[in-house]
Structure 1
Amino acid sequence: MKTIITIITLLLSALSFAQDDTITLTVTVPNATSDKGEMVFSLNTEETFMKTAPVASAAVVIKDGVATATFENLEQGEYAVIVLHDLNGNQRMDFKDGMPAENYNVSGGQMSFGPPVFGDAKFTLNEDTELKIRL
Structure 2
Amino acid sequence: MFYKFQIFPLFILLNSYIFSQPTEPTSDYKYVLRIQREIEAQVGYYLDEPRTGDFKKVHSESMKYLLLAEEKPNDKSLQRRSEKVRQAVGQMIRKNYNPNIVKSEKKNIRYHYFFIDEFSKD
Give your verdict on TM over 0.5: no
Question: Which is richer in strand?
Answer: 1
Q: TM-score interval w.r.t. the shorter chain?
A: 0.3 to 0.5
Q: TM-score, normalised by structure 2?
A: 0.32
Flag the structure with larger Rg.
Answer: 2
Q: TM-score normalised to the size of structure 1?
A: 0.30
> Which structure shows the bigger proportion of residues in helix conformation?
2
